[in-house]
Structure 1
Amino acid sequence: MSLPTYRSILARVAVAALTVAVVVGGVAFWVEMEIADALVSDLAKRESSAFLAEARDLLPGVTADRANGAKADELLSRFMQSRIKADQVGTGGIFIVAELYDPTQAKAAEYIAPGAEWAEERLKNNRHAFPAAGNSQYERFTIDGRFFIQTIESLSDRDGKLLGYFESVFQLSPEHSREIVKDTVTVVGVSSLSVLLAALVLLPIFVAFNRSVMGLSRQLLTANIDILTVLGSAIAKRDSDTHAHNYRVTILAIRLAEAMGLDAAAIRRLVKGAFLHDVGKIAIPDRILLKPGKLDADEFTVMKTHVVHGLDILRASDWLTDAADVVGGHHEKFDGSGYPRGLAGDAIPIAARIFAIADVFDALTSRRPYKEPMPFDVAMGILQEGAGRHFDPAALARFTEIVAPLHAHLTALGDDGVEGELRRLVGQYFAKH
């Protein structure tokens, strides 16, 4: 797990601040437009009521008499012109279109403010529905960057009978539009600055806390790796082995896994399994584990149970459970003749197949109390004889390509030097995890 830098934290804070600013700005814009909508909608209702009071007696005959239709145009035009000066001062805009519809929703009269003909042409493409009797509706839209509110009111007589519809289009003034934009920009700016200032104040606290947590995480990881090393070494020593064998086998397994293209997560699992592959031997009686001669059939049956014991031990730790592939599969053989499950081929986890090659190679080429190290060429010959039977032939072929210089390097390091080499290599895979 890598420690975030000041730059990365600032970038995250900046993104968060901009996100908050956009949201707040959007809310501010919505509130401003809702205020304008409510203002214009109330104004339109008042205007339609006033027009209805003047034209109530005329409206029933509009559709039946063309002369009444002409009178409706004249009345609507006169009414709108007179109302503009009287009622629209301080409303932040002007009515530019007013239309009268009969109960069948056919247009009976219209008023277009001087110079607003372009708006009527554009509005022809803006289809709308009509509200139910006694209701109203409005819609906000923009044309060429200007805000408009279209309101439709139903007109009824004193008995509630539908007489028609009154439609009006209100254009917000440039001043009001600029005011909305200004308010929105102000809110966005203030909110952004506030969030950034708060983030700058809290940034040192975040970084200090993050460093503290990361320090503890590294200490915990180091402790876990130390436990792996100590436990693996303890088991190796009990088995009359040396801890250096565990170190070399783990290094060999890591390098082979790298050569085969395994990802970092898979290599971390392999490392845990390599350290703990024989952890189950702690449950094997000394008379069997330390017997100098060959085990008989019953003793070998007991010895094989160390795999099951090892898996049982791993279940006690969530951090170690992913070592199960190696612990449970390092005695399986490619032809299916291994134990404990008799897995064959690709059914054997790749980490176990890799470890088996590294484990046998180091056992052959290392000095033990009961034998001298086997020459490199002889050891490789034995491995090649096991290709396809004991070992995965593809993995063995890749191992053959890389092992000579690697073996020479580990031999030159000696038992004392391989521990430092292993810690450096393991650190590469666990330090950022």
Structure 2
Amino acid sequence: MNSFNRRVAWRIGFISVLLGAVASLGAWVVAYKNAEDATVALATEESRRLLRHSDALELSGPDAGERARKAVKTLAGGLFDVAEVYNSHGEKLASAMTPEGQEIEAQLPSHPRPGSGESSHQSLKLDQGRRVLRVFVPLKGAVDSGTAEVHGYFEGVRVLPPWQRQQMLIHALSGAVMVGLASLLCGATIYPVVVLLSADNERKAREILDSHLSLMEALGRAVGKRDSDTGDHNFRVAWMAARIGERLGLSDRAMQSLIVGAFLHDIGKISIPDAILHKPDRLDSGESEIMRTHVAQGEEIVSHIGWLDEAKAIVAAHHEKWDGSGYPRQLAGDAIPLSARIFAVADVFDSLCSKRPYKEALDFDAAMSIMDRDTGRHFDPRVMSVFRPIAWDLFEALEGGDDQLARRRLEDCVRRHFGI
């Protein structure tokens, strides 16, 4: 199992367990409440039936109290441990209790007279872990009386026996376990689907990235074909810029922009006439002005083309200088994008150390002397402080003119920072 699959497994497992715990708790509460409601419904229905059988629903007349007493004696010890009947004014007409009912009577909280004509109940937890259900049943007269007037109400208290509490707990636990297992099963089912989709997305993303990088290389080669000075310069400066960026601790995202921008920095030269681009001697002032337009041309080419837009910072500012004497915008200091400041060091170093039609390559000491002289004028001092310790290694790597080596090293950087 690779690292991604392990992360997916852990995350799905964690979420499944978390959701299972929350859902199980909810299922427990709902199942317990449903079991409790079923007990209350049974008690309410049975109490109504017995009260009706005892004629206790009709509390008018001189024998109302006797009928109430007869009813509560029947109910106490059966469904209820405390059975009481009250008239419409809230006066107790009759009461009967079991021994256990007498023990808990003092623990029961007082209650106001029920104000509605509907049954209600309370669930209470008393001392010694005893749980009781307290029901209130309105007494609306005999079945055949045809009246809905409430004449009083019946109060019944049932101490849930251990077997019933256990039954309710088992019912709630069963529901919670089923919900929890269902959540874990869903997680186990989702995992392979997520891994499969992720692998497919990763494959497609790599294909798109590979296409982008191939396009980047094709554009760089197109510039190289027109500019005899360029050659494999793009590979070398992109690799050197990447090395500097790594030492500066740039993020992968910033490194991607740095590599693409360094590779395509001279893309605007496609628009420069061959007579100027291929001139073996130094350019005159007019020709230099035309050559300088390659910056604006390159900026226009890479702008608004999705991922190529990331190259814009270097394409637009690779000829700016730290002291503001560069072109085309005369940016200075930190106003110059960091990637362009990094590239400037790599670009000039490669130019000094490479043979061109109009000059010979300089040795390392001569090149570094010029680089040090221009630090604070052309180059960012902080970038130079990072560049100096690796300058000799870069020079040695490129001194033999093995451009294939530069390509392979750049490819390694691309794979590392583009996640290939």
Given the two structures, how large is their TM-score scaled by the length of structure 1?
A: 0.75
Identity %: 34
Structure 1 residues 119 and 270: alpha-carbon distance in aligned structure 2, compared to 1, 3 A threshold: farther
Correspondences of 1:214-233 after superposition (within 5 Å): 214-233=202-221
**Residue of structure 1 in register with 2:117 after alignment:** 134
1:83 and 2:71 correspond: no
Cα distance in 2 for residues equivalent to 1:13 and 1:389 = 55
**Residue of structure 2 in register with 1:392 after alignment:** 380
Structure 1 residues 294 and 84: alpha-carbon distance in aligned structure 2, compared to 1, 3 A threshold: farther
1:368 and 2:356 correspond: yes
Query: C-alpha deviations, 1:257-316, integer Å up to 9, x for none?
Result: 222222222111111111111222222232333334444444444333323332332234
Q: 2:332 aligns with which of 320, 339, 344?
A: 344
RMSD: 4.3
Bigger mean CA offset, 353-362 vs 373-382:
373-382
Query: C-alpha deviations, 1:27-46, integer Å up to 9, x for none?
Result: 46515523532541573477
Q: 1:315 aligns with which of 303, 308, 314?
A: 303
**Residue of structure 2 in register with 1:305 after alignment:** 293
Preserved contact between residue 72 and residue 84 of structure 2 (Cα < 8 Å): no
Cα distance in 1 for residues equivalent to 2:377 and 2:400 = 32
Bigger mean CA offset, 158-167 vs 252-261:
158-167
CA shift for structure 1 position 228 = 1.7
Correspondences of 1:119-198 after superposition (within 5 Å): 124=109, 132-135=115-118, 137-140=120-123, 148-151=132-135, 168-190=156-178
Structure 2: which amino acid aligns with 1:83?
Answer: L
**Residue of structure 2 in register with 1:333 after alignment:** 321
**Residue of structure 1 in register with 2:99 after alignment:** 114
Cα distance in 2 for residues equivalent to 1:295 and 1:155 = 111
Query: C-alpha deviations, 1:22-65, integer Å up to 9, x for none?
Result: 42673465155235325415734774897797487599xxxxxx
Cα distance in 1 for residues equivalent to 2:104 and 2:399 = 90
Query: May I ask how many residue pairs the two structures share in their alignment?
Result: 410
**Residue of structure 2 in register with 1:33 after alignment:** 33
**Residue of structure 1 in register with 2:247 after alignment:** 259
Cα distance in 1 for residues equivalent to 2:135 and 2:379 = 82
Structure 1 residues 153 and 399: alpha-carbon distance in aligned structure 2, compared to 1, 3 A threshold: farther
Bigger mean CA offset, 113-122 vs 305-314:
113-122
- Structure 1 unaligned runs (5+)? 60-70, 89-94
Preserved contact between residue 276 and residue 283 of structure 2 (Cα < 8 Å): yes
Query: C-alpha deviations, 1:368-400, integer Å up to 9, x for none?
Result: 233222122222222222222222222222222
Structure 1 residues 133 and 330: alpha-carbon distance in aligned structure 2, compared to 1, 3 A threshold: same
Structure 2: which amino acid aligns with 1:342?
Answer: Q
Preserved contact between residue 3 and residue 214 of structure 1 (Cα < 8 Å): no
Structure 1 residues 244 and 32: alpha-carbon distance in aligned structure 2, compared to 1, 3 A threshold: same
Bigger mean CA offset, 314-323 vs 13-22:
13-22
Cα distance in 2 for residues equivalent to 1:243 and 1:109 = 109
Structure 1: which amino acid aligns with 2:212?
Answer: N
Q: 2:366 aligns with which of 378, 386, 404?
A: 378
Query: C-alpha deviations, 1:205-233, integer Å up to 9, x for none?
Result: 65455444433332332232222223223
CA shift for structure 1 position 407 = 2.7
Bigger mean CA offset, 36-45 vs 381-390:
36-45
Secondary structure in 2 matching 1:403: helix
CA shift for structure 1 position 326 = 1.7
Structure 2: which amino acid aligns with 1:30?
Answer: V
Preserved contact between residue 45 and residue 153 of structure 1 (Cα < 8 Å): no
Bigger mean CA offset, 108-117 vs 288-297:
108-117
Secondary structure in 1 matching 2:229: coil
Cα distance in 2 for residues equivalent to 1:128 and 1:324 = 78
CA shift for structure 1 position 319 = 2.0
Cα distance in 1 for residues equivalent to 2:293 and 2:160 = 86
Cα distance in 2 for residues equivalent to 1:221 and 1:208 = 20
Cα distance in 2 for residues equivalent to 1:192 and 1:368 = 73
Preserved contact between residue 233 and residue 242 of structure 1 (Cα < 8 Å): no
Cα distance in 1 for residues equivalent to 2:161 and 2:244 = 75
Cα distance in 2 for residues equivalent to 1:120 and 1:292 = 112
Structure 1 residues 239 and 134: alpha-carbon distance in aligned structure 2, compared to 1, 3 A threshold: same
**Residue of structure 2 in register with 1:91 after alignment:** none
CA shift for structure 1 position 430 = 0.9
Secondary structure in 2 matching 1:336: coil
Structure 1 residues 82 and 98: alpha-carbon distance in aligned structure 2, compared to 1, 3 A threshold: closer
Structure 1 residues 261 and 14: alpha-carbon distance in aligned structure 2, compared to 1, 3 A threshold: closer
Structure 2: which amino acid aligns with 1:26?
Answer: G
Cα distance in 1 for residues equivalent to 2:90 and 2:396 = 96
Preserved contact between residue 147 and residue 172 of structure 1 (Cα < 8 Å): yes
Structure 1 residues 193 and 41: alpha-carbon distance in aligned structure 2, compared to 1, 3 A threshold: closer
Structure 1 residues 56 and 193: alpha-carbon distance in aligned structure 2, compared to 1, 3 A threshold: closer
